Amino acid sequence: MGHEDCVSKFCNAGWGEVLSRLSPYGYANFGIAFGLGFSVVGAAWGIWLTGSSLVGAAVKAPRIRSKNLISVIFCEATAIYGVIMAIILANKIKKPGDGITTELPEDWDFNSFYYAGFGMFSAGLSVGLTNIASGVSVGIAGSSCAIADAQDASLFVKILIVEIFASALGIFGIIVGIIESNACNFPIGAAE
Amino acid sequence: MASTPSGTHGGMADFNIHHGFIEALIRGMRSSFLADSDYHHITQCETLEDVKLNMSETDYADAVSDLTVLTPSGLQSAAINKLVTEFKYVRTQAVEPLATFLDFITYEYMIENIMLLLKGALSGRDINELLAQCHPLGMFKESTMRSIPTFEANAKGFADLYQTVLVDTPVGPYFAMFLQESSNAMGGEVRNVIEEVEIEIIKSSLIKYWIEDFYQYVQKLGGETAEIMGDILMVRADTNAINITLNSFGTPLNEPVMRTSDRKRLYPAVGHLYPAGTHMLADVSTEEELGKVLDLFPQYTSIWSVHAAEAEMSIDDAFYERDVQALELAFESQMHFGCFYAYVKLKEQEIRNLVWITECILQAQKDEINKFVPVFSSHAPWRSSTKAR
């Protein structure tokens, strides 16, 4: 990988060749995009799930308005995890140093290069996909929470515990993402 | 006729796109039902003035404040108008497929209204009086309703009535199916049908077609709606079948010839009793035989034993209790349409309860006053609750 010659002229003889020839810069930036994009999809999904029920239930029971905004905040938190991860990853992407124009030099630090690319892709995906699941889960639980709270105020705190567990799923994603991307560093020059 | 929904309503993750607000609205209205404590206060009242005072602390405050003097019929119409206002509010906000679902709920009342107008026309009553008695949920265009009793009460008049007026109403297809089936049975004479067949039998047939159509629609919606509404409609169909059989004893419909040709056609093709039970019910001629048939169906043995033992509760109340149990279940899960139907039906039950209680107070029959079926009661036989609401 990396140094061997391709079988075909454009390095596209099969999926294996295509995937292993994708530039690590591409992998890393896709990781950022997926991480942020999927997290926001999950958060938005959760917010409209819980928001529509909250507005409807508040018509007959206006007292639930303020308390149930917590559900919306939990959903928003999943989007924030995505933003944090994206910022961390974006700061780790560096241009190659001066003097390197079209071809990477022979002594380029390919180890860190590929490690960083794949690692950041995986970190982004892990945050993004877990946040979709977390966002949808918090949304559905939040919708039921608003409706139940409108009928019986003592139910709110109990259903909130369900939502807390649901939003913990997003935290798992960002923890793993941070641990994984810690060791990823794009090189700017030759290997030391 | 099988109406097809324009799509499914989505599962847990996307039901709220189109129906989230409205469903939460209906579930918020659940808190407007009278609680056990409200029923307790109202049944303790000595006069109807006290009832009015107690009602003004419930959700009926606005409805009751317009009545200068509380009478059972006045309370009933005020409560029904309140229900209709709420229903129309929900209906205007609904999108497909919920809109058609809500329309299906109103078709039942449309059938009742049309039958009322036809019966009134036959006995020559005043049109305005009839219109005032119509159920508000089942009204269609006033010009249409006014033209129903104006048709002549003969064969040609009825044929014209169907072809010009009824065919445009949403329940027109049910009439078409009824006329088709009756003319098939009678050998092709369409015009004489409405004249010769009793109004009650027409109504039972129309309600049967409505239940079957609604059931098909709900099954096509799929998901939890199909499960919950399917169960509710099956119980409804079985109630109709049992009531038709029970009410036919002692009438010409019970004769052996009529049983297979006419009575059997009135049983809906939906329900726990269909097809084996309705086949057996078609041959039943006495109450004993009816009891033997129902013994084979565990859901109905308890209801039948209430009737057979002639205990405190009438069989209608036993059916209402079974209905209330099934309808309350619709509020137990979210993201389906069952709660809309259940809300209308449970409100109707509550209105029936209020009329019963006020009638008992008016006629000073205090020992009968507790024979109603409360809704969402913590003392319900199927609910072992330790906490009162």
Interface test with B, best of A41, A48, A50, A53 (most B CBs within 10 A): A53
Chain A CB contacts of B27 below 8 Å: 56-57, 147, 150-151
Residue B231: which residues within 8 A CB-CB, separation 6 or more?
A: B326, B329
Taking the CA atoms of chain B, what radius of gyration do you get in angstroms?
A: 22
Answer yes or no: is pLDDT of A136 > 90.
yes
CA-nearest residue to A133 within chain B is B13
Chain A CB contacts of B28 below 8 Å: 56-61, 147, 150
Inter-chain CB proximity B24 and A147 less than 8 Å: yes
Interface test with B, best of A151, A154, A155 (most B CBs within 10 A): A151
Chain A CB contacts of B13 below 8 Å: 45, 49, 136, 140
Answer yes or no: is pLDDT of A192 > 70.
no
Q: Does B88 touch chain A (CB under 8 A)?
A: no
pLDDT < 50 regions, chain B: 188, 190-191, 385-389
Residue A30 confidence (pLDDT): 96
Residue B2 confidence (pLDDT): 58
Q: Which H/E stretch holds residue A150?
A: helix A110-151
For residues B32 and B246, the answer to whether their CB atoms sit within 8 Å is: no
pLDDT tens digits, B149-165: 777 656 566 667 777 87
Give one word for B187, left, alpha or beta, with left for phi > 0 and alpha for psi -120 to 50.
left
For residues A71 and A141, the answer to whether their CB atoms sit within 8 Å is: yes
Distances (CA, A) of A61 to A151, B28, B173, B309, B375: 8, 7, 41, 45, 20
Q: Show the beta-strand stretches assigned E in A58-123.
A: none
Residue B6 confidence (pLDDT): 80
Mean pLDDT, all residues of chain A: 91
Q: Residue B264 burial by CB count (10 A; 0-12/13-18/19+): exposed, middle or buried?
A: middle
pLDDT tens digits, B260-305: 777 788 888 888 888 888 888 888 888 888 888 888 888 888 888 8
Inter-chain CB proximity B334 and A144 less than 8 Å: yes
Chain B CB contacts of A155 below 8 Å: none
Residue B158 confidence (pLDDT): 63
Query: B16: which strand partners?
Result: none
Query: By C-alpha distance, which of B318, B317, B338 is closest to B328?
Result: B338
Residue B385 confidence (pLDDT): 47
Chain A CB contacts of B12 below 8 Å: 140
Inter-chain CB proximity B334 and A143 less than 8 Å: yes
Inter-chain CB proximity A151 and B22 less than 8 Å: no
Q: Does A88 touch chain B (CB under 8 A)?
A: no
- Residue A175 — very low, low, confident or very high, per pLDDT cuts 50/70/90? very high
Residue B15: which residues within 8 A CB-CB, separation 6 or more?
A: B9, B23, B335, B336
Inter-chain CB proximity B24 and A140 less than 8 Å: no
Query: By C-alpha distance, which of B82, B103, B91, B87 is closest to B19?
Result: B91
Separation between Cα atoms, residue B72 and residue B83, nearest integer Å: 16
Can you tell me the ipTM of this complex?
0.84
CA-nearest residue to B333 within chain A is A144
pLDDT tens digits, A8-42: 888 888 888 888 888 999 999 999 999 999 999 99
Residue A1 confidence (pLDDT): 46
Distances (CA, A) of A75 to A25, A36, A42, A69, A163: 31, 14, 8, 10, 10
Inter-chain CB proximity B28 and A60 less than 8 Å: yes
Inter-chain CB proximity B28 and A59 less than 8 Å: yes
Which tokens belong to A19?
A: 């995937």
Separation between Cα atoms, residue A93 and residue A120, nearest integer Å: 9
Which of A:4-23 have CB within 8 Å of B? Answer: none
Q: Does B388 touch chain A (CB under 8 A)?
A: no
Inter-chain CB proximity B29 and A136 less than 8 Å: no
Q: Does A85 touch chain B (CB under 8 A)?
A: no
Answer yes or no: is pLDDT of A2 > 60.
no
Q: Does B29 touch chain A (CB under 8 A)?
A: yes
Query: By C-alpha distance, which of A58, A71, A159 is closest to B29?
Result: A58
Which tokens belong to A77?
A: 């938190």
Helices (H), chain B: 16-29, 36-43, 48-55, 61-65, 72-93, 98-122, 127-133, 142-147, 155-160, 172-186, 192-196, 199-221, 223-248, 256-258, 276-281, 287-295, 298-308, 315-329, 338-362
Query: By C-alpha distance, which of B269, B282, B274, B273 is closest to B303?
Result: B273
In 10 A of CB A157, how many CB atoms?
Answer: 11
Q: Does B143 touch chain A (CB under 8 A)?
A: no
Query: By C-alpha distance, which of B189, B198, B139 is closest to B159?
Result: B189
Separation between Cα atoms, residue A192 and residue A109, nearest integer Å: 8
In 10 A of CB B132, how many CB atoms?
Answer: 9
Q: What is the DSSP string of A28-44?
A: HHHHHHHHHHHHHHHHH
Separation between Cα atoms, residue B156 and residue B162, nearest integer Å: 10
Q: Amino acid letter at B48?
A: L
The rounded Cα B19 to chain-centroid distance in angstroms is: 24
For residues B331 and B342, the answer to whether their CB atoms sit within 8 Å is: yes
In 10 A of CB B279, how many CB atoms?
Answer: 13
Separation between Cα atoms, residue A158 and residue B103, nearest integer Å: 37
Residue of A58, A60, A147 with shortest CB distance to B334: A147
Largest CA distance in chain A: 72
Residue of A136, A147, A150 with shortest CB distance to B13: A136
Separation between Cα atoms, residue A78 and residue A30, nearest integer Å: 19
Q: Is the peptide bond prior to B381 cis by the omega test (within 30 degrees of 0)?
A: no
Poorest-pLDDT segment among A47-56, A110-119, B73-82, B255-264: B255-264
Distances (CA, A) of A174 to A29, A118, A124, B145: 17, 17, 9, 65
Query: By C-alpha distance, which of B267, B270, B263 is closest to B234?
Result: B270
Separation between Cα atoms, residue B269 and residue B212, nearest integer Å: 7
Q: Amino acid letter at A70?
A: I
